Chains A and B, each alone.
Chain A
């Protein structure tokens, strides 16, 4: 499927896959409210996207890019190192970064134009992962407001080589972005504009947020890519946990917007008594063929290629042959994929809703 090459302004197509009916069909995203029922619950990831791409130099002067994965234990940030290159160079074609050892001090350059004046961002490597020499834990020298000032002055969003140009911070935020926890945008929600969200609310579909620290989609390192997604942090508001429980009790369906929401809800449910609970947690849950989601009934998602970790998660919601056939149809019908493209809805019962509406 060809990727969408720039953020759009509405008019996304909606590839509908109904595993109960064993069928797929075409809709527009504007029809989403008609495909859901009053009493259904839509859960979104409200993580804002970090200016996660930082350009810096080691004390020896070697240039590198670090992509933040988010905040870890004890105020440390996890990051993946890349060699020199700009957004036009596909991740897998980047040269290897300089070898980073604990204690190495990295000074980052300020983006042009900077959003505000700031002292330079400086970090020290604390740990190097056993998984890959490119996965490190950093401690920034500044903290509090000084850290966030320097981070936003130095960083830009992670870029994609198939786009028409470099992305600004506002291109990679959802319409409900809150705390900056996401290394890459929770992109299934990019298409959810408030026109659609308000129509869902008018239909009697309830909306609830959680925050999930979405990680990198690709690291340029085979060993590391194989381990993706790494354990990720989430925070589920008490109100959202309560709405999930109420919805299930009343026979409504829980629809996750994006795989990160599935991981947070199912991870939380797996760590407790089968129902997600309020509060923060970390999940290393990987769903795939054969896994049975306990709380999420369906998924609104971007369209990604077979073979990705994203694709195997889809197989927890619909049989692989059905998903493959639907994606093949989408490719032939000219759907656009990736972060800024069309979207898909995998949910049992929507074929009947579409016929009735």
Chain B
């Protein structure tokens, strides 16, 4: 997808991979709406991007909250015009330390699904129709290897990501021929707060930096040859420009 001037919405944008991706997309000339629950880090990132000559707006909201979805879609479209790119990056692990399923409260599973699955469904539903009529759009769903492997204690999160993968595939099938594509990206292990929350004993030096993964993600977004609904492991995919 051509990024210059493209109205772009990124959830979970205040830190980690979301923030790194926002910085890189701003450098490419995308017009950004950044979404996260906490206002202060989001506002700081918007100031930083603007100081660097980029365009960004902050909308603090919880993507797990049904009432926030149409306000998000409307305000974002008012600020940067009809959206062309949406990156569903926000997600929650649920209660920490992550419990086995036998200790997982039903309400906690519901909350993880609300943020990681139902929120992206609602936001896609609110935005994909306009993109289909305009003949252009891309939804990127950030997934995890916990979607395809059964790791103990990753139940709620893993279930939400497995369902998200399938959601992206069905969207791709239903939107075929409209010019709107979906992409599932497993970013791999990164040195982020989320990783530290999940696995506090891991050595950060062994983990990828979010900015490196964000660079790969930008290359995947720009690559129009990837089939809609494809699932890509960002840290395994060949670097941009390299032959297979």
Contact = CB atoms under 8 A, between A and B. Distances in A.
Interface of A: 44, 46, 48, 50-51, 113-117, 144-145, 148-149, 151-153, 169-170, 173-180, 194, 201, 207-209, 237, 239
B134 A209 contact: yes
B75 A46 contact: no
B112 interface: no
Given A46-B133, A116-B61, A180 B79 contact: no
A194 B67 CA distance: 23
Interface in B52-102: 57-62, 65, 67-71, 73-75, 77-79, 81-83
A201 B83 CA distance: 22
A209 to B, nearest CB: 4
Interface size class of B (residues with CB under 8 A): 20 to 34
B133 A44 contact: yes
Given A177-B126, A194-B129, A48 B74 contact: yes
Q: Is the interface of B mostly helix, strand, loop or mixed?
A: helix
A307 B79 CA distance: 38
Contacts of B61: 115-116
Contact of A145 (B58, B69, B74, B129): B58
A46 B132 CA distance: 11
B82 A115 contact: no
Contact of A177 (B65, B71, B130): B130
Contacts of B244: none
Contact of A169 (B60, B71, B79, B132): B71
B71 A152 contact: yes
B59 A145 contact: yes
A170 B70 contact: yes
Contact of A148 (B75, B81, B82, B135): B75
Nearest to A169: B70
Instruction: Pick from B65, B68, B82 the residue with the most CB of A within 10 Å.
Output: B82
B134 to A, nearest CB: 6
A148 B77 CA distance: 10
A209 B70 CA distance: 20
Nearest to A175: B129
B142 to A, nearest CB: 22
Contacts of B126: 173, 177
Given A44-B133, A46-B130, A115-B65, A178 B71 contact: no
A176 B71 contact: no
A185 B39 CA distance: 31
B79 A115 contact: no
Contact of B77 (A169, A178, A237): A178
A115 B135 CA distance: 30
B98 to A, nearest CB: 28
Nearest to B37: A116
18 contacts: A44-B133, A46-B82, A48-B70, A48-B77, A116-B62, A144-B57, A145-B79, A148-B74, A152-B74, A169-B70, A169-B71, A170-B69, A173-B126, A176-B130, A177-B74, A178-B77, A180-B78, A237-B134
